[in-house]
Structure 1
Amino acid sequence: MATVPDLSKENTTPGQPATNSFNVEKLPHHLAIIMDGNGRWAQERNLSRIEGHRAGAESVRIIVRTCRRIGIPILTLYAFSKENWQRPGREVQALWRLLSRYLKSELDEMMEHSIRLNAIGDIQELPKSVNRLLVDTMNRTSANSEMLLNLALSYSGRTEIVRTAQKLAEACVANQLKPAEIDEVVFSQNLYTSDMPDPDLLIRTSGEQRISNFLLWQMAYTELYVSPIYWPDFREAQLMEALADYQRRERRFGKTGEQQAKEV
């Protein structure tokens, strides 16, 4: 059985499960994470919500590095939903400052380790300076191939589906496509995620048991894992627990266990 290499001791957490027991073939190819709980983490410590987001940014760094080291090729992080625009303006502006700092501070590491940055969502809605920095970082990392890091920004799963339907309808009106030719494959090819597989595993932190309008089409057969840990405290140990749980599952995709066994 092929196994993943041991993690380096950098940023490790006491009690972290050993990684040499993981079957590398059974790691998720595409991992998605709803990073939830920054505000409650801060509130419990009598800190501002902005301090919670700062702490959460460090978890982003650690989880990205960990996924790269153990060989997860695609990581999608739900960073900012369309609904998040309803939050206080001061908090929203702080989030964009944090994103800008992250993009600037992590560019060298993304280049060194061949991490390609991508964004999904209505990124034209971001502040102009943030949008320019984001697009510039995406362009600079576009040739990197070891890992794909997706940031969902100003993203809504329902909006993505509606716009895809509109795009296909326009193609039909223009006689570029026939309605009968529209199937799941064609629909998927017109989503933000058209060039990547659907997520194998979704992790949501903070204990909330909902998917919050995230990748609604893509998660038809995604395994779900809910961690009670707030995002700022979600580090290697918690990620390894989620991955170990995932590897114990049998993914059937609507088939019986016997059918799956015959296909292995």
Structure 2
Amino acid sequence: MKKRIITIITACSILSAALCLIGLGWVMKDQLIGTKNTKVTTQPAQEVPHPAHQQIHIAAFGDSLTRGTGDPEGKGYIGYLMQELKKKTKKPITLSNSAIKGQTSSQLVKQLAEPEIRRQIKNATIILLTIGGNDLFQGGKAISHLDPTFMKRSEKTYLANVKKIYSTIRSLNQSATVFHIGLYNPFIDMEKSKLTSTIVRQWNFDSANTAADYKKIVYVPTFDLFELNVNDYLFNDKFHPNAAGYKLIGERVAALITFSEEGKR
């Protein structure tokens, strides 16, 4: 009796094992067939736009120097600056240039109230600024009346406007670095050159001190670039830089911008 029961149990076990193997075989067959008939497709990689923090947005304001007056190619210092930056960074660079030829600091204060200008400031990572030359030299007219009292009064108005300009920029954008390009003396080879140099140095000194009171505003000196060979770097009007003069300014500002961007990494 016991042998018969053992025989039945053994037979059932063998039958169950056989059925499992057959089932496993069909499963493996289905998987192989399914794999064979499945087509593998790949989607082409889509270009991902650069996030805002990976781009350099330059907003430029001021007078004819930022417009590039005197450069036959129309580049100005910004054109040469852009060339230098593109050699040193892989980040995309965008530029808006809202400078106006002949603009004074009082006029720039008014311009900064315009909605489009305020939008440019808010979006900028770098802000370029040239202002003060027309306040000081008045298109060259100031040479005929270099009265210390008059020049001091002009500087007082200019510095008050500079504070308004800096404050407006900082109220709209606290993170962008501002590069205020300083004054040079285009009349250094003319009569009263000693007096004009003294005045320009004083304006630069006071402007730099004002910039130092604000976060991330850099006053960029240019006086030394033109001091020794001014006529080599001036346009025919003997007031604006020529291409070589703008190139000097552009390279200096570009070096500072590159240093500034490296410091953020």
TM tier, shorter chain? 0.3 to 0.5
TM-score, structure 1 as length reference: 0.33
Looking at both structures, which has the greater relative contact order when contacts are Cα pairs under 8 Å and sequence separation is at least 6? 1
- The structure that has the greater radius of gyration is 2
Question: Larger % of helix: which?
Answer: 2
